[in-house]
Amino acid sequence: MKTQLPRHKCSCQCHGEIALHVSLTCDCGKPIVPPHNECGPPKPPKQVCCPPPPAKPQPGMVDVPQDDPPPRPKTSDLPPWKVGKPKPGDPGEVPWFRGKIGDINRNGPTFGPRKDEYLPFLLVRAASADRGNRPFSGVFWESPDIFVAPNLDADSAPLMPPTTGGIAKANIANTLYAHVWNLGKAPAYRVRVEFYWFNPSLGITRADANLIGAAWVDLGNRFTIDSAWHEVHASYGRWLTRGSHAIVRCPETWIPRIENNGHECLVVRAFEPILDSVPVNQFSASADRHVAQRNISVVEAASPASIDLALNLGYADAPSEAEVEVEVEGPANMEWLQLYAGKRITDYRTPAAQVVAGLLPPTVVNARSITLEHVASECRPHLLKRRERFHRGCDPLRINFHATADLQKHEAHVLRIRQRVGSDVIGGYSVVLLK
């Protein structure tokens, strides 16, 4: 009686079809592969995605359910009216134009670069030279277009900010302002300008957003340039304008929380809901021109100046390797100090004494914050690192930062803290130590 040997299915690509083998080795010498795999080493596991954080409901905002994203319009590198256009007076000019009209009737319009279309192009700048190109390379969290006026209630504050370098004061009234721009060929009406505060963070998302208030403003196109500021009084708001750009005052008073000593992050979003909108969950200033961040803490103190700051790291899209680093720079490399000083050329210089600055290991968000204010100054450098590398899971994390320095008159230390995931900077915070 003959014994039936077991047969094993194999889907190695060397067959071109599924074959049966008596042994567990294919004719090509590799182990047999079940039909749902390929010949060769097993595939790496799929990247695990972290669940999105719960979105905090904001007053005055509504999430409209939308199963499918809206269709993206057809675009080209050149405006359609420049593609293949004959010279003026050429006999083919009229047939070319008729062909363009016929193509629009058949297939719909094709758009060129937004700057060339009759559309608004709204912007809140990340730096003085910002013209709206995104992603923005460089320091994107020191916006020159967000102003704070401490000790002022919004109802009594003037339309023009009394200072461009004001610092938020904890537990008292503060008024916020935003400088918004329209670089498009079309004017923008009823532009919504939203003001938010966040706990100090290196990763800003909607889940941590706290809406302070919202204002409405009209902006002329980029060709509308007035020689002086003038007030506009409308039924839906008041603002100062110079045509294509305007200064808007937040209608609500902001009182920063005392536990953070006023060191919150500020975010402004400016958008026109129909012609130049922004996604409801978009709060990244590096990725979207409608968003600006001011993540700056200024420590004004007699020498030595010192700060302990707990920085949230935000929510990860997926488990990954992350890095937080501290970089010490001279005051000449921080453009915002010109606004703080109120003049283009400042008197601040790099201190002769070294600054003690660094990070403690990251912890979970709800852990108690560790401060070094009561630790002997000679022991602090041994507890701090300028760079922390770690693995980020889906749980939100926090990292503690400390800096202290001996300062003389007109000296300033600029400390920039960045969070990187891969090669991308996903968040930053700046600390300025001044005497």
pLDDT over threshold 60, residue 324 = yes
Q: Where are the domains of the chain?
A: 1-44, 116-294, 296-435
3-state secondary structure the chain: CCCCCCCEEECCCCCCCCEEECCCECCCCCECCCCCCCCCCCCCCCCCCCCCCCCCCCCCCCCCCCCCCCCCCEECCCCHHHCCCCCCCCCCHHHHHHHHHHHHHHHCCEECCHHHCCCCCEECCCCCCCCCCCCCCCCCCECCCEEEEECCCCCCCCCCCCCCCCCCCCCCCEEEEEEEEECCCCCEEEEEEEEEEECCECCCCHHHCEEEEEEEEEECCCCCEEEEEEEEEECCEEEEEEECEEEEECCCCECCCHHHCCCCEEEEEEEECCCECCCCCCCCCCCCCCEEEECEEEEECCCCEEEEEEEECCCCCCCEEEEEEEEEECHHHCCHHHHHHCCCCCCCECCCCCCEEEECCCEECCCCCCCCCCCCCCCHHHHCECEEEEEECCCCEEEEEEEEECCCCCEEEEEEEEEEECCEEEEEEEEEEEC
Mean pLDDT within 100-114 = 90
Lowest mean pLDDT of 205-219, 235-249, 361-375, name the range: 361-375
Lowest mean pLDDT of 20-24, 289-293, 324-328, name the range: 20-24
pLDDT over threshold 80, residue 17 = no
Tell me how far apart the alpha carbons of residues 173 and 153 are, in angstroms, rounded to a whole number.
6
Tell me how far apart the alpha carbons of residues 31 and 223 are, in angstroms, rounded to a whole number.
70
pLDDT over threshold 70, residue 216 = yes
Mean pLDDT of all residues belonging to the chain? 89
pLDDT over threshold 80, residue 303 = no
CA within 13 Å, CB half, 376:
3
Q: Cα–Cα–Cα angle for 50, 142, 328, nearest 5°?
A: 90
Residue that is written with structure tokens 């300062």 in the block: 407
Q: How far, rounded to the nearest angstrom, does the alpha carbon of residue 217 sit from its chain's CA centroid?
A: 23
Token output for 234: 């409308």
pLDDT over threshold 80, residue 260 = no
pLDDT over threshold 60, residue 41 = no
Mean pLDDT within 41-48 = 65
pLDDT band with cut points at 50, 70 and 90 for residue 79: confident
Q: How far, rounded to the nearest angstrom, does the alpha carbon of residue 181 sit from its chain's CA centroid?
A: 18
Among 3.40.50.1100, 2.40.50.100, 2.60.40.10, 3.40.30.10, name the CATH number for the domain at 116-294: 2.60.40.10
Tell me how far apart the alpha carbons of residues 353 and 189 are, in angstroms, rounded to a whole number.
52
pLDDT over threshold 80, residue 39 = no
pLDDT over threshold 60, residue 347 = yes
Q: What pLDDT is attached to residue 19?
A: 67
Tell me the per-residue pLDDT of 90-105, one tens digit each, with 9 for 90 and over.
999 999 999 999 999 9
Tell me the per-residue pLDDT of 352-402, one tens digit each, with 9 for 90 and over.
889 999 999 999 988 888 889 889 989 999 999 999 999 999 999 999 999
pLDDT band with cut points at 50, 70 and 90 for residue 9: low
Lowest mean pLDDT of 36-40, 169-173, 304-308, 396-400, name the range: 36-40
Asked if residue 211 lies in contact with residue 195, where contact means CB atoms within 8 angstroms, the answer is yes
Q: What pLDDT is attached to residue 22?
A: 64
Residues in CB range of 288: below 8 A, 6 or more apart: 134, 278, 279, 282
Q: What pLDDT is attached to residue 44?
A: 61
Tell me how far apart the alpha carbons of residues 261 and 358 are, in angstroms, rounded to a whole number.
20
pLDDT over threshold 70, residue 344 = yes
Tell me the per-residue pLDDT of 164-207, one tens digit each, with 9 for 90 and over.
999 999 999 999 999 999 999 999 999 999 999 999 999 999 99
Q: What pLDDT is attached to residue 16?
A: 61
Q: What pLDDT is attached to residue 56?
A: 81
Q: What pLDDT is attached to residue 142?
A: 97
CB atoms within 10 A of CB 260: 17
Q: Indicate if 296-435 has the same CATH topology as 116-294.
A: yes
Among 3.40.1190.10, 2.60.40.2310, 3.40.50.300, 1.10.3720.10, name the CATH number for the domain at 296-435: 2.60.40.2310
pLDDT over threshold 90, residue 64 = no
